[in-house]
């Protein structure tokens, strides 16, 4: 007669809500063998989301449609007439991410593209000597019409960095966190068209300084901003109609990062009216009366251009 021995033990696992967890172990020893599964020291009975099965010396516990309360320590207890053995494993259940962190830059390329006015002249040099080549370039270096604003966020919320850059085309944009460039992959996805980066998960490690760098053939400019990720706090409130949230504001608002005015009318001039609320959040505009005034002004301008009376 031989006591039970676990030759294979289940591994710890982390799964999303709604997934299925499968614990398996292989137990050797003399028959008859009794196997009992436990969760947090409470015996599990088959049924509901639990399915218990065996195949020779392999014993399996399946948990279907995982919920947050399924998280815990799972233990398999094997016993026969000459002994008892146990093994345990941890199950962690997390919510599936439903948020992104997006870095965007809108590029204005209406300015004449950069071009070479005078090419560098050919020169002859001896190997080992230094040489200088000069050429003249027409075009405007990049500049920030609207720099990215500092943000505060909680894990699980949508976060948007945005900047408006103008300068001679073609413009190239890069995003950095600290000194490390943010590249596509590993949770980020950057597209040249909107210089957009997305991240699947937000944790405290994402707090820090972010930098947007714009370059073209005429020059380079960069702008720094910060993000602070806080612990999730319960927020009680009711989200009403967008216009019901419009309160006191001037028609221009100071940037939290730089002491210069944001012209709300110019900011929204070429924006689809359906996107007004998104842009208000994007640029940190919280004083809503001026925003309403800007929207009404744009409405009047469009009516005058079309020859229609203003309502």
DSSP string, 51-70: EEEEETTEEEEEE-S--GGG
> Which residues of the chain are modeled with pLDDT < 50?
99-100, 107-111, 194-202, 234-240, 245-260
Does the predicted model carry a pTM greater than 0.85? no
Which CATH code for domain 98-116+135-233? 2.60.40.10
How far apart (Å, rounded) are the C-alpha atoms in residues 172 and 215?
5
pLDDT of residue 239: 39
pLDDT of residue 67: 94
pLDDT of residue 75: 95
For 11-35, write each residue's pLDDT tens digit: 899 999 999 999 999 999 999 999 9
Nearest to 285 by CA among 309, 261, 310, 305: 261
pLDDT of residue 58: 93
**The domain made up of 5-94 is a member of CATH 2.10.60.10:** no
Nearest to 60 by CA among 50, 68, 70: 50
pLDDT of residue 190: 59
Output phi, psi for 7, to 5 deg. -90, -20
In which residue ranges of the chain is CATH 2.60.40.10 found? 5-94, 98-116+135-233
pLDDT of residue 87: 94
Cα separations in angstroms, 145 against 167, 185, 263: 10, 29, 10
pLDDT of residue 252: 45
């Amino acid at each position: 007669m031989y006591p039970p021995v676990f030759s294979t033990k289940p591994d710890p696992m982390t799964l999303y809500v709604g997934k299925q967890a499968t614990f398996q172990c292989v137990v050797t020893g003399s028959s008859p063998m009794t196997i009992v599964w436990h969760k947090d020291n409470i015996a599990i009975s088959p049924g509901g989301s639990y399915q218990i099965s065996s195949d020779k010396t392999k014993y399996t516990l399946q948990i279907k449609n995982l919920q947050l309360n399924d998280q815990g320590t799972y233990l398999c207890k094997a016993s026969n007439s000459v002994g008892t053995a146990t093994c345990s494993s941890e199950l962690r259940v997390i919510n599936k991410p439903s948020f992104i962190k997006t870095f965007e830059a809108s590029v204005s390329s209406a300015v004449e593209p950069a071009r070479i006015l005078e090419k560098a002249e050919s020169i002859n040099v001896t190997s080992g000597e230094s040489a200088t080549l000069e050429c003249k370039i027409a075009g405007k270096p990049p500049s920030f019409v609207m720099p990215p604003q500092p943000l505060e966020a909680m894990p699980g919320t949508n976060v948007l960095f945005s900047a408006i850059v103008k300068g001679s085309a073609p413009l190239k944009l890069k995003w950095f966190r600290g000194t490390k460039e943010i590249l596509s992959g590993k949770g980020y996805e950057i597209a040249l068209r909107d210089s957009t980066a997305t991240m699947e998960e937000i944790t405290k490690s994402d707090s820090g300084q972010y930098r947007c760098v714009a370059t073209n053939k005429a020059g380079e400019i960069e702008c720094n901003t910060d993000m602070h990720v806080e612990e999730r706090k319960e927020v009680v409130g009711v989200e009403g109609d967008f216009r019901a949230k419009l309160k006191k504001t001037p028609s221009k608002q100071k940037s939290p990062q730089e002491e210069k005015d944001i012209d709300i009318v110019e900011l929204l001039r070429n924006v689809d009216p359906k996107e007004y609320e998104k842009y208000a959040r994007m640029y940190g505009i919280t004083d809503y009366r001026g925003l309403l005034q800007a929207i009404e002004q744009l409405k009047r301008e469009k009516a005058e251009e079309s020859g229609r009376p203003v309502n």
